[in-house]
Amino acid sequence: MDVVVVGAGIAGLSCARELAAAGRTVRVAERGRVVGGRLASKRYDGRHADIGAGYFVADDPDFHTLAEQWRARGLARPWTDTFTVFPGQSDTTGPTRWAAPGGLRSLAEDLARDLDISLESEISAIDPETITVLAMPGPQALRLGPPAAIADAANEQHWEPVIAAVLAYGQRTWQELHAAFVNDHPDLATIFDDGDRRGDRAPVLVAHSTPALARRHLNDPAAAGPILSKAVGELLGITERPEIHTHRWTYAQPAPGTGPYATDGRVWLAGDAFGRPRVQTAWLSGRAVARAILEKT
Query: Domains in the chain, please, with CATH?
Result: 3-77+99-158+255-296 (3.50.50.60), 160-253 (3.90.660.10)
pLDDT above 90 covers what percent of the chain? Answer: 95
Give pLDDT, residue 276: 93
Query: Which tens digit of pLDDT belongs to each residue from 241-251?
Result: 999 999 999 99
260 prior amide bond cis, ω within 30: yes
Model pLDDT, residue 111: 98
Q: What's the pLDDT band for 46 if we cut at 50, 70, 90? A: confident
What pLDDT does residue 184 have? 96
pLDDT of residue 278: 96
Which of these, 29, 101, 38, 27, lies nearest to 70 by C-alpha position? Answer: 101
Residue 217, pLDDT > 90, answer yes
Whether pLDDT at 1 is above 80: no
pLDDT digits (tens, 9 = 90+) for 115-126: 999 999 999 899
The dihedral over CA atoms of 162, 168, 169, 174, expressed in degrees to the nearest 10, equals: 40
Q: What's the pLDDT score for residue 247?
A: 97
* DSSP secondary structure of the chain: --EEEE--BHHHHHHHHHHHHTT--EEEEESSSSSBTTS-EEEETTEEEE-S---EE--SHHHHHHHHHHHHTTS-EEEEEEEEEETTTEEEEEEEEEE-TT-THHHHHHHHTTSEEEET----S--TTSEEEEES-HHHHGGG---HHHHHHHHH--EEEEEEEEEE-SS--SPP-SEEEE-S-SSEEEEEEHHHHHTS--SEEEEEE-HHHHHHTTT-GGGHHHHHHHHHHHHHT--SPPEEEEEEEEEEEEPP---S-EESSSEEEESTTSSSSSHHHHHHHHHHHHHHHHHH-
Q: What pLDDT does residue 297 have?
A: 82
Q: What is the largest CA-CA distance in the chain?
A: 61
Note the Cα 107 to chain centre separation in Å.
Answer: 11
The b/e string for 215-232 (b: 16+ C-beta within 10 A; e otherwise) is: ebbeeebeebbebbbebb
pLDDT digits (tens, 9 = 90+) for 257-274: 988 999 999 999 999 999
pLDDT category at 254 given cuts 50, 70, 90 is very high
Contact partners, residue 207, CB within 8 Å, separation at least 6: 164, 165, 167, 188, 190, 191, 192, 228, 229, 231, 232
Q: What percent of the chain has pLDDT over 70?
A: 100
Q: What is the pLDDT of residues 138-175, one digit of tens each?
A: 999 999 999 999 999 999 999 999 999 999 999 999 99
Residue 129 confidence class, pLDDT cut points 50, 70, 90: confident
Q: What's residue 45's pLDDT?
A: 87
pLDDT at 41 over 90: yes
- Kindly list the distances between the CA atom of residue 91 and the CA atoms of 78, 191, 210, 265, in Å, as whole numbers in the listed order: 18, 14, 21, 47
Average pLDDT, integer, range 190-201: 97
pLDDT band at 130 (very low <50, low <70, confident <90, very high): very high
| Alpha-carbon span 137 to 150, nearest angstrom | 12
247 vs 228: CA distance, rounded Å: 12
